[in-house]
Amino acid sequence: MAAKDRNITLQATVLAVGCLLMALKFVGWRITHSNAVLSDALESIANVAAGSFALYSLALAAKPKDREHPYGHGKVEFISAALEGVLVAIAGVLIIVRAVEALIHGVQVHNLGKGILLVGISAVANGIMGWVLRARGKRLHSPTMEAGGVHLLSDTWTTAALILGLLVIEFTGVLWLDSLLAIGFALFIMWQGLRLVRRSIGGIMDETDMAVAGAMVQILDQHRRDAWIDLHNFRVIKFGSTLHIDCHVTLPWYFTLEAGHREITALDQLVNQRSGREVEFFIHTDPCIPASCPVCQVEDCPVRQAPFVKRVPWTMATVLTDRKHGLEAASAALGQAR
């Protein structure tokens, strides 16, 4: 079974278990009439809704490129993660409204022991599913799976805190702590939701992930060939788990088209083999110019006009600029970075 098919199967399993856990939490609320337990149950609605769209988005993202979607369907994963964040934030608002009403009008809490048991079972299950989803999402660079895993793990920790609070209420009999606890959970849940939305908007807007881009540049710098004189105008766009990279590479001007193609193919294969993810390159080749000679490491260059002086390191400071590297350009880029 392909990795994308396994992702879909895993998400479908998580969704099915999530539905059972949601029912379990609502049973716990009916038994206890606890606003804190209700807050956990309401968040489960968001879990199930987000899980449903996540399943759809993973299935859509797995589809191959077509004429209408030449870059694939991976962007839908960011939409899925954003929807999950919005639903989580809405759940937090509803929890606060319910808790404030309870503080004003009062509520009776009972059978906390049974409620704690049911909520505890759901916490363990959520923790296991969240850990698996987050680990697989990080390994396969899937925003949808990683967001789902982070959400379920945060749900686990809030549920653990909820259980602790319910135990305090059970032993102290201070009922207003129940609503106060629910408000605290709601604020944390809303913060998590807004973080998911922020990250997803960044992906939709093609915001550069500096850590990812830096890792790609580091691979290229550590394994660069002498003929790769210069790398500039470097841009990284995420399409779900796939990276799309645009850049300019300066090669010796006397290279044949075949030789230039061979160098670009080697660069493409280098990153795809060493990065551990699918990377699509669109590379524009530039011919070297006299200003390139002092930074060019081609030893047997038949047309060199100046001796080699120094190697320009490829870093985020030097490769993002939209100009060929010479000593002056490299010094300016490094100076701006400092």
The mean pLDDT of the chain is 81
Distances in whole angstroms, Cα of residue 234 to Cα of each of 8, 128, 132, 323:
33, 39, 34, 11
Poorest-pLDDT segment among 30-44, 214-228, 231-245: 30-44
Backbone region of residue 286 per phi and psi (left: phi > 0; alpha: psi in -120 to 50; beta: other values): beta
User: Which of these CATH numbers, 3.50.30.10, 3.30.70.1350, 3.40.630.10, 3.30.200.20, describes 210-337?
Assistant: 3.30.70.1350
Percent of the chain scoring above 90 in pLDDT: 17
Per-residue pLDDT tens digits for 258-303: 999 999 999 999 999 988 788 889 999 999 988 899 999 998 899 9
| The dihedral sign for the CA sequence 263, 268, 273, 275 | positive
How is domain 3-204 classified at the architecture level of CATH?
A: Up-down Bundle (1.20)
For 270, how many CA atoms within 13 A lie in the half-sphere containing its CB? 18
Does 109 or 114 have the greater pLDDT score? 114
pTM: 0.64
Which tokens is 101 given?
């009403």
- Whether the per-residue pLDDT at 325 is higher than 70: the answer is yes
For position 217, what pLDDT does the model report? 93
The residue extents of the domains of the chain are 3-204, 210-337
Does 227 or 201 have the greater pLDDT score? 227
Does 282 or 73 have the greater pLDDT score? 282
- Whether the per-residue pLDDT at 338 is higher than 50: the answer is no
Residue 105: which pLDDT band, with cuts at 50, 70 and 90?
low
For position 334, what pLDDT does the model report? 45
